Amino acid sequence: MFKRVLYLLLLLLFTLLCEAAILRDSEQSSSKTCGYESCIKVDPNKLNVHIVPHSHDDVGWLKTVDQYYYGSRSLTQKAGVQYIIDSVIEALRRDPARKFIYVETAFLWKWWQRQDEKTKEEVKQLVNEGRLEIIGGAWSMNDEATTHYQSIIDHSTWGFRRLNDTLGECARPKIGWQIDPFGHSREQASLFAQFGFDGMFFGRLDFQDKYKRLKEKTAEFLWKASSSLGEKAYLFSVALFNNYSPPPGFCFDVLCSDDPLIDDPGSPDNNIEARIKVFYNYTMYQSRFYQTNNIIITMGGDFTYQQSEMYFMNLDKLIRYTNKIYGSEVNVFYSTPSCYLKSLNEAQISWPSKSDDFFPYSSDPHAFWTGFFTSRPTLKFFERMGNNFLQITKQLSVLSSQMDSEGLIHFKEAMGVMQHHDAVTGTEKQHVAADYARLLSASFAYGTEIVSKAVSQMVKKNPQIPDAEFHSCLLLNISSCVITESSGNFVVTLYNPASQPTSTYIRVPVTGNAYNVSDNSGSEIVTQLLPVPQFVRQTPGRNSNSTKELVFFAEIPPLGYRSFYVTELGELTAEEGEEMKPASVSAIENDLYTVSVNQAGNVVVKWKNMTLQVTQSFHYYEGMKGNNTAFAYRASGAYIFRPKESNVYNVSYSGSYKFYTGPVVNELHLTVNSYISQVVRVYKEEQKVEFDWVVGPIPIQDSIGREIITKYSSNLQSDGTFYTDSNGREMIKRRRNYRPSWNVTLEEPIAGNYYPVTAKIYLEDVEKKVRVSLLNDRAQGGTSMLDGELEVMLHRRLLNDDAFGVGEALNETAFGYGLVARGSHSLIAGRIQDLAGVALQEKTEAISLALRPWYLFTPAGGVTFHQWKARYFMKGSSLKSKLSKNVHILTLEPWKDDTILLRLEHLFEKDEAGALSQSATVNLLDLFANIEIISVRETSLGGNQWIEQMKRLQWQIDSNEVDDQPYTFTSINKTEEGAMEVVLNSMEIRTFIMTVKHT
């Protein structure tokens, strides 16, 4: 008896020891088997079929982010991300052969926070073993047409940071997974390469392009994503065969209705041989269109895997039986995009290349996804302002050492959500758009708190002085601000987030009759009062007494602030009285050009030093009504732009106009008709003409709706060519009715010529050597349908859905009326010989639109100007020395512990701006006035890998295609004089994590 007990005890002990040993083994191996090392060896003599289970989880679309996470509103869509991740982990646990990829860090993080330690460890283990692979990894799967590069970098960085902090190094994404965005930008590919990614998979490209690529086996290629960065921006890219769906008939998800695989030999429903044959045939068919003996098969879809076992159990069988029956020809196995990529890389063949982009995207001859470039114009502007204020919040967090702030994290995450391909795009349901706005508006409140605190700290002359309050006025875009309207005297402080001094025309809504403004020196500034136009005053929802705007010019120091004390005067001077009255002139002008209005109500701008005239006019398209029963019956909607019969209609002029002149600015207030009006501004010393447009409520009595555009027509010969930006960064050449990589047939001659204009569109006359550029304040669609003419879509209101899933017409209303949008265009013209001059003007304007100085208001109460000046600094900069004009501080944000993240960028392309395109050297120690840099380490663009560890797969390009110079990296140079120098080549961005001390 005793013996037996002892024996049992020994046995138990032995088992325990063994288990411990096994555990240790797997722990040891776990740290080494993620990434390419976890990949199964492919068979060189067979077709290798990489089965990739995945779930496409939109960060909001038909439901809000939270509704998708928790799975509420299941009648709208049966989708709950918490169930997906839970059940995937469970399914992976069951069988080590199974693999899964996860993409959206917004959801993964939400889920992670709600798990116990045991689950977290288990998930880490799965990641370490390469069974759960994180790809993409940004906060959301961002859109590529309407997003700004600064925001793409930011939300990717934040996603990567969360991944590294929680799951560790094995969770560092190596692959871009852009399977659903509606077309693909070159800048996105360039950024991916700079994140250290080895490749990118995508689903949506023009159907004609896709057909040709499959036919010619060029759906896998090397994307040369920057003409300035060369090899540094090469990205291997894969156009997927069947978007991101499984082969027809093989969706085993609970959301699908395809039959399961039934292998019971006795069952009359046994279907195994027949189904496996279909699958085998499909793999053979797909392989005909790709170059190697590998194919990737995506097994998943929107919100699939809520009951993972159902999918996996059938995939297990699919793999087992296909190998069993057709094993001499095919090798089927669970894989990941990175293992697929590795097998292509090892194939040792050369690949074709591409250097344009994938816009516009059309899914059928009548469906050009070019409407979303403009859809929801006010949400698009709010998003852009979100970036503007987020950068300010980040900078001021660093500059005032508010390093750990929950508010800032909320703000970053809200902006990450906004980048999603159904958020900033405007292709979500109305209630979801409202939820995005709610999220972002909460972030503005967090930001304001941080910014006020920082500025009140910064301006105090000594610590005993009471804090002054600094308030944001978030309704300045409708000329409304409670503080300026309700305080007689007030202080307006502007913070400039740009790295160069910004010259700006400060504009504050007021109610009084006359004002006097003093700057830091105490001298009175030249000001001007202008009426707020009636068409702005009547904006639905505007609840303001301001009838005037006080305008004055100032230069704000870089990364710095400047305050102005505004005193209300009792008496109106004679001049101010005059300024408020329309001037009896027939044109307004400055040294460079004159602005007048023609009989059709169009604005005519005539340059004085060039034979250039630009006429600006408004027009509209009528959407195709369509019932979506066939391609030819598509309706214009949130995604697609499809004008009826390709007609553009003139807006008939039924309004009136007035000119106002004064010492600061001359303005044209033009009402075109009942729903279109604008202010055109001519500043004394500015090259730009500013068009401040107001559009809405767009009439819908015709039950169709309208898409409103503006055209700038010039006498330039642009030869069918124009240029649009890629995510606000490099420019891409466009030609009307043309695609660089295939012979295009356009059945939609207008929509098919629309391109995303995130920041800029221009055209040139090579003979006259003149360029006309237009810069905008939010993403819009644009084109050039006639030589010399730029066209931009401003606003859309449509009563039909275009049947791409959103299920609602794009009919935005606010305060009981059709939505009114207000925005601005800056028109700049210049000579091409003076490349540096024009390019610098444009860049300066682009920065002043994207990174505007932020207005902060303080009611003066009883504090006089002299008292204010005695207590508070009225001007300051955090830059230690002037930066070269081609260098910009792209990011300055608190990182972890005592570190900050700094990004420096070179602003110009290789041949864009003469001397300014040359490389620049920056001494890091010379950057900040009150921050001492203790140590610096450079990282990849996403901040998640030390630069010296960043190694990317190398690919060979087809020999007949010209290769760029290899990219040469220069590390930080510590000079003998004690400087820390970094070199920035044209278009380069470099990222540093620095340990700092505030002095």
Ligand X SMILES: *[C@@H]1O[C@H](CO)[C@@H](O)[C@H](O)[C@H]1NC(C)=O
Active-site residue list: 180
Stretch that binds Zn ion, among 56-64, 102-110, 341-349, 913-921 (CB under 5 A): 56-64
Stretch that binds Zn ion, among 55-63, 355-363, 371-379, 901-909 (CB under 5 A): 55-63
Q: Which is nearer to Zn ion, 180 or 383 (CB)?
A: 180
| Smallest separation, CB 366 to Zn ion (Å) | 22
**Residues paired with residue 739 on neighbouring β-strands, in sequence order:** 742
Distance from chain centroid for Cα 849 = 15
CA distance 361 to 202: 12
Is 180 near Zn ion (CB under 5 A)?
A: yes
Is the CA virtual torsion 858, 860, 861, 862 positive or negative?
A: positive
| Smallest separation, CB 239 to ligand X (Å) | 31
Q: Which residue's Cβ has the minimum distance to ligand X? A: 164
CB 774 within 8 A of CB 764: no
Q: Which is nearer to ligand X, 500 or 944 (CB)?
A: 944
| Smallest separation, CB 783 to Zn ion (Å) | 26
Stretch that binds ligand X, among 67-75, 832-840, 881-889, 939-947 (CB under 6 A): 939-947
CB 496 within 8 A of CB 560: yes
Q: How many residues bind Zn ion (CB under 5 A)?
A: 2
Q: Which is nearer to Zn ion, 79 or 835 (CB)?
A: 79
Question: What does the radius of gyration of the chain's CA atoms come to, in whole angstroms?
Answer: 30
CA distance 828 to 889: 25
Is 144 near Zn ion (CB under 5 A)?
A: no
| Smallest separation, CB 939 to ligand X (Å) | 6
| Smallest separation, CB 947 to ligand X (Å) | 10
* H helices, E strands: number in the chain: 19, 49
Q: Which is nearer to Zn ion, 203 or 942 (CB)?
A: 203
Q: Which is nearer to ligand X, 402 or 944 (CB)?
A: 944
Is 935 near ligand X (CB under 6 A)?
A: no
Quick one: what does residue 58 bind among Zn ion, ligand X, none, with the CB cut-off 5 to 8 Å set by partner type? Zn ion
Distance from chain centroid for Cα 10 = 63
Distance from chain centroid for Cα 3 = 73
Is 939 near ligand X (CB under 6 A)?
A: yes
Classified as helix, coil or strand, 486 is: helix
Quick one: what does residue 157 bind among ligand X, Zn ion, none, with the CB cut-off 5 to 8 Å set by partner type? none
CB 124 within 8 A of CB 167: yes
Residue 477 tokens, joined = 């875009």
Residues 6+ apart with CB under 8 A from 140: 59, 104, 105, 106, 155, 416, 417, 419, 420, 421, 423
Residues 6+ apart with CB under 8 A from 169: 34
Stretch that binds ligand X, among 268-276, 877-885, 925-933, 943-951 (CB under 6 A): 943-951
Q: Which of residues 540-599 bind ligand X (CB under 6 A)?
A: none
Is 891 near ligand X (CB under 6 A)?
A: no
Q: Which is nearer to ligand X, 160 or 182 (CB)?
A: 160
Stretch that binds ligand X, among 12-20, 202-210, 883-891, 937-945 (CB under 6 A): 937-945
Quick one: what does residue 945 bind among ligand X, Zn ion, none, with the CB cut-off 5 to 8 Å set by partner type? ligand X
Stretch that binds Zn ion, among 173-181, 223-231, 352-360, 460-468 (CB under 5 A): 173-181
| DSSP tag of 449 | H
| Smallest separation, CB 181 to Zn ion (Å) | 8
Of the candidates 653, 141, 217, 634, the residue with the CA atom closest to the CA atom of residue 418: 141
Rounded to 5 degrees, φ, ψ at 530 are -130, 145
Residue 682 tokens, joined = 């001519």
**Residue for token digits 């006309």?**
772
CB 945 within 8 A of CB 172: yes
Residue 982 tokens, joined = 């970094």
Residue 405 tokens, joined = 């702030």
By CB under 6 A, name the one of 14, 815, 946, 969 that touches ligand X: 946
Q: Which is nearer to ligand X, 157 or 472 (CB)?
A: 157
Is 692 near Zn ion (CB under 5 A)?
A: no
Quick one: what does residue 765 bind among ligand X, Zn ion, none, with the CB cut-off 5 to 8 Å set by partner type? none
Quick one: what does residue 211 bind among Zn ion, ligand X, none, with the CB cut-off 5 to 8 Å set by partner type? none
| Smallest separation, CB 169 to ligand X (Å) | 6
Q: Which is nearer to Zn ion, 639 or 659 (CB)?
A: 639
Q: Which is nearer to ligand X, 60 or 196 (CB)?
A: 196
Is 58 near Zn ion (CB under 5 A)?
A: yes
Classified as helix, coil or strand, 58 is: coil
- For the stretch 247-253, contacts whose Cβ atoms lie closer than 8 Å and that sit 24 or more positions apart, written own/partner, are 247/279, 247/282, 247/286, 247/297, 249/275, 249/278, 250/279, 250/299, 250/318, 251/301, 251/304, 252/310, 252/311, 252/313, 252/314, 252/315, 253/300, 253/301, 253/304, 253/305, 253/306, 253/307, 253/310, 253/311
Q: Which of residues 161-180 bind ligand X (CB under 6 A)?
A: 164, 169
Stretch that binds ligand X, among 380-388, 547-555, 743-751, 940-948 (CB under 6 A): 940-948
CB 808 within 8 A of CB 754: no
- For the stretch 3-7, contacts whose Cβ atoms lie closer than 8 Å and that sit 24 or more positions apart, written own/partner, are none
Quick one: what does residue 826 bind among Zn ion, ligand X, none, with the CB cut-off 5 to 8 Å set by partner type? none
- For the stretch 671-675, contacts whose Cβ atoms lie closer than 8 Å and that sit 24 or more positions apart, written own/partner, are 671/533, 671/534, 671/535, 672/601, 672/618, 674/699, 675/699, 675/818
Is 428 near Zn ion (CB under 5 A)?
A: no
Classified as helix, coil or strand, 621 is: strand
Quick one: what does residue 777 bind among Zn ion, ligand X, none, with the CB cut-off 5 to 8 Å set by partner type? none
CB 909 within 8 A of CB 890: no
Residue 538 tokens, joined = 């009547």
| Smallest separation, CB 380 to ligand X (Å) | 33
Element of type H or E holding 997: strand 989-998
Is 945 near ligand X (CB under 6 A)?
A: yes
* Residue 449 falls in which region: left (phi positive, over 0), alpha (psi -120 to 50) or beta: alpha
Quick one: what does residue 180 bind among Zn ion, ligand X, none, with the CB cut-off 5 to 8 Å set by partner type? Zn ion
Stretch that binds ligand X, among 20-28, 319-327, 363-371, 942-950 (CB under 6 A): 942-950
Q: Which is nearer to ligand X, 666 or 899 (CB)?
A: 899
Q: Which is nearer to Zn ion, 180 or 686 (CB)?
A: 180
| Smallest separation, CB 31 to ligand X (Å) | 12
Q: Which is nearer to Zn ion, 243 or 923 (CB)?
A: 243
By CB under 6 A, name the one of 944, 985, 986, 991 that touches ligand X: 944
Where helices occur in 132-246 by DSSP H, the ranges are 149-166, 186-194, 207-215
Stretch that binds Zn ion, among 27-35, 50-58, 110-118, 732-740 (CB under 5 A): 50-58
Is the CA virtual torsion 76, 82, 83, 88 positive or negative?
A: positive
Is 308 near ligand X (CB under 6 A)?
A: no
Q: How many residues bind ligand X (CB under 6 A)?
A: 6
| Smallest separation, CB 308 to ligand X (Å) | 29
Q: Which is nearer to Zn ion, 58 or 764 (CB)?
A: 58
Quick one: what does residue 528 bind among ligand X, Zn ion, none, with the CB cut-off 5 to 8 Å set by partner type? none
Query: Which residues bind to ligand X, rule: CB under 6 A?
Result: 164, 169, 939, 944-946
Query: Which residues bind to Zn ion, rule: CB under 5 A?
Result: 58, 180
